[in-house]
Amino acid sequence: MGKKKYNRGVTDQDLANGVKDEYGCIYSPDGKRLLKGCNVDTYAVKEGTEVICKNAFYQCNYLRSVIIPNSLTKIDVGTFLGCSSLQSIVIPESVTEIGDRAFYECESLKSIEIPESVTEIGDSAFYWCRSLQSIAIPDSVTKIVSYAFEWCSSLQNIEIPKSVTEIGDYAFSHCYHLRNIVIPDSVTKIGSYVFESCSSLQSIEIPDSVTEIGDSAFCECESLKSIEIPDSVTKISSYAFEWCSSLQNIEIPDSVTEICDYAFSHCYHLRKVVIPESVTKIGSCAFESCSSLQSIEIPKSVSSIGDSVFEGCESLQSIVVPESVTEIGNGAFERCTSLQSIVIPDSVTKIGWDVFWDCTSLQSIFIPQGKREYFERLLDKRYYKLLKEEKKE
């Protein structure tokens, strides 16, 4: 039989052969690895230690302070996971790597300085560090990985260095007190859910270097009033700005070809949107419940309007469907209670069900002259009386 793995990334045999110090911490015989930590108030890792092994101080709830020697090169996976009382730690210049979940749920940790020697910060490294207010990321780091600072709910400011090219999924998700952030022009990708539920985030500048903004990247950023999307972005991803309830205006650059599902859903204060001619598709529920949206111009480049695209846009009074559109999805204008008129061209070959459900102010559906019978085949009978033929100009 092989050796049984211990939950700290070492074997039972390693622990049996290890050297225990006066506090109960166990080291490898050569003193280079700290195999198992100890649950004391303050602990100084012995000089000559190069690696603190996986989960070494796992749930050492009494541990408040740790002193790390200059000999250490790596803080391994889950090293201080669940050390809920840990308040301070100084990482020396000798450390080059902070492993996955290294400080996971260290909820008393208020500040930490990462030295320039560190090139890699692992997944979820500072997840649920709820007391962490500030952190400086060194220029040596090239990627902020997934979940790195998720649920750091006290984090107010963070500076991303120019060395970073990618911000991974959920990196700053649920950082409720994060107010401002500057993304350097070295970043090319903002992952999915990166700033989800950063409810205090008021402004953010996205550089021209960014070509991709992931799904739900700014979802539930309730304080975000404006944002400028650079012309390097080609797609507004699904849920990208959903529930950004303070967002008032947005200009979509002419590099964008697709507005995906729920992209601006529930942006209650969004009043004006300019959609460029480059956009060919508007996804389902893209502007659902944008209750302050008064006007929107659908460009002639759009070929289909997805399901519930403008559902619940209660301030929208009129809309013109361009001749490029061939399909209008289910419930596309449902609950547009101020909508009085709409122009639909004969290029449309399919209109979904409940497309005008609860449009209580709708008086006129303008269609091309001589096309009444055609549109009666597309629409429910209850809308026949609203059909009004008009000559093409």
pLDDT of 2 reads: 40
> In terms of C-beta density within 10 A (0-12 exposed, 13-18 middle, 19 or more buried), how is residue 385 classed?
exposed
Residue 46 lies in a domain: yes
Domain that holds residue 42: 1-111
The CATH number for 6's domain is: 3.80.10.10
Domain count, the chain: 1
pLDDT of 392 reads: 65
Give the separation between CA 137 and CA 276, rounded to whole angstroms.
37
21 and 48 in contact (C-beta within 8 Å)? no
Give the separation between CA 365 and CA 363, rounded to whole angstroms.
7
Residue 104 lies in a domain: yes
Which of 216, 258, 269 minimizes the C-alpha distance to 241?
Answer: 216
- The SS3 assignment for 35 reads strand
Residue 170 lies in a domain: no
pLDDT of 249 reads: 86
Residue 167 lies in a domain: no
pLDDT of 183 reads: 92
pLDDT of 1 reads: 37
User: Can you give the pLDDT of all 393 residues of the chain as single tens digits?
Assistant: 343 333 457 899 999 999 999 999 999 999 999 999 999 999 999 999 999 999 999 999 999 999 999 999 999 999 999 999 999 898 999 999 999 999 999 999 998 889 999 999 999 999 999 999 988 899 999 999 999 999 999 999 888 999 999 999 999 999 999 998 889 999 999 999 999 999 999 988 899 999 999 999 999 999 998 888 999 999 999 999 999 999 998 889 999 999 999 999 999 999 988 899 999 999 999 999 999 999 889 999 999 999 999 999 999 999 999 999 999 999 999 999 999 999 999 999 999 999 999 999 999 999 999 999 999 999 999 999 999 998 766
> In terms of C-beta density within 10 A (0-12 exposed, 13-18 middle, 19 or more buried), how is residue 315 classed?
middle
Give the separation between CA 330 and CA 380, rounded to whole angstroms.
12
Residue 136 lies in a domain: no
Look at the pTM and tell me if it is higher than 0.75.
yes
List of residues 6+ apart from 88 with CB closer than 8 A? 64, 65, 66, 109, 110, 111
